[in-house]
Structure 1
Amino acid sequence: MPLRPLAIALPLVAGGLLAGCTGIPEGTQAVEGFTLDRYLGRWYEIARLDHSFEEGLDCVTADYALRDDGGVTVINSGINLETGESSVAEGKAYFIEEPNVARLKVSFFGPFYGGYNVLALDPDYRHALVAGPNRDYLWILARTPTLAPATYQALVERAAELDFAVDALIEVEHGEACPAH
């Protein structure tokens, strides 16, 4: 499969980067009591509000690892299943507030940072609702390529309560066409 530079920056850069903003959507609150070590590892993008930097991508994952400087290395990848073209981007993230508050700033392009706000997270760190700096950017993430329908619906309902455009959510393919995760 050909590899193309990822002009996306998935959950950890998305809207904030494009807007140059590390904010949080008005009226929302980041998860408190957050433990970075439990959040590290692979996450699968289950659904998103679509943007040009992720257009046409499926099989989308985000891998988070601790950096030597205390930040987080972020590797986002996805595949356009129609063309077979892969996309990968590597970035770095740092806490905006205290490390027990799930608000980070992420950079994939030099000095430009975007907001990454975990708005909901299950106690076992199995699924999360993540937003950029405003309501234009939203992701549903999970530790597995699929979510139980009731869990997915609960996350969509929570996003709707927070005034996100849930009717515009795009569900991400993680089926047989995806390489082994």
Structure 2
Amino acid sequence: MIACITISGCIVGTQGRPKNSPPPVTVPSVDLQRYGGTWYEIARYPNSFQKKCEGVTAHYEVRADGRVGVTNTCAHGTSSGKPRAVKGIASVIAGSNNAKLAVNFTPIPLPKGQGNYWVLYLDSAYQTALVGGPNGDYLWLLARTPKITPAQRTALNDAALQNGYRIDLLKDTIQP
């Protein structure tokens, strides 16, 4: 969900799921309090708004109004490059048990619809997560630590494949 960090426009060049495939399947529910905190980006589909971003993190915080505050940060060029951050607000899509969110980063409003941030995999300890856009334009592998084990990566990749996402399009994120 690392959206619009460079605010160069949210034009996407990746189509990671066939257009005629069924919608991806989200996790049954997400405890937003447990999901809150900092996540490290392990890999992503390349996109225009994260161009030259490394050392990427996302921080989520449940707000008093029930929405989720989002702060995405990246280092420009290398994992030790100049940091850049963007703030947004996520609203839960009704009936999704917190597994689908509509995330908006000003000044680029996004339509509410089905949401643009779907939690597709979340391990029981809330240590790794797979998040994607339902149309296949976006996919992120996230973890609570900057590095993950091969078994964790396999679980994330398997969840992506089961939902029809192409893992060959993933770009690994360099973390410090």
Q: TM-score, normalised by structure 1?
A: 0.79
Aligned length, in residue pairs: 159
Is the Cα–Cα contact under 8 Å of residues 24 and 134 in structure 2 kept in the other structure?
Answer: no
Hey, what does 2:110 align to over in structure 1? 112
Amino acid at match of 2:5: L
Hey, what does 1:19 align to over in structure 2? none
Tell me the distance in 1 between the aligned counterparts of 2:98 and 2:59: 20
Amino acid at match of 2:44: R
Tell me the distance in 2 between the aligned counterparts of 1:117 and 1:15: 19
Is the Cα–Cα contact under 8 Å of residues 60 and 172 in structure 1 kept in the other structure?
Answer: yes
CA 1:173–1:160: 2 relative to 1, 3 Å: same
Is the Cα–Cα contact under 8 Å of residues 23 and 134 in structure 2 kept in the other structure?
Answer: no
SS of the residue aligned with 1:144?
Answer: coil
Hey, what does 2:46 align to over in structure 1? 50
User: 1:1-181 to 2 correspondence within 5 Å?
Assistant: 6-7=5-6, 26-82=22-78, 84-98=81-95, 100-110=97-107, 111-113=109-111, 115-175=116-176
How many Å apart are 1:68 and its aligned residue?
2.4
Structure in which a larger fraction of residues adopt helix:
1
Tell me the distance in 1 between the aligned counterparts of 2:32 and 2:160: 23
How many Å apart are 1:117 and its aligned residue?
0.3
How many Å apart are 1:60 and its aligned residue?
0.2
Amino acid at match of 1:69: D
SS of the residue aligned with 1:50?
Answer: coil
Gaps of 5+ in 2: 13-20
CA 1:6–1:158: 2 relative to 1, 3 Å: closer
Structure in which a larger fraction of residues adopt strand:
1
Report % sequence identity. 40
Q: Which moved more, 1:83-92 or 1:130-139?
A: 83-92
SS of the residue aligned with 1:112?
Answer: coil
SS of the residue aligned with 2:130?
Answer: strand
How many Å apart are 1:15 and its aligned residue?
7.8
Q: CA RMSD in A?
A: 2.4
Tell me the distance in 1 between the aligned counterparts of 2:65 and 2:131: 24
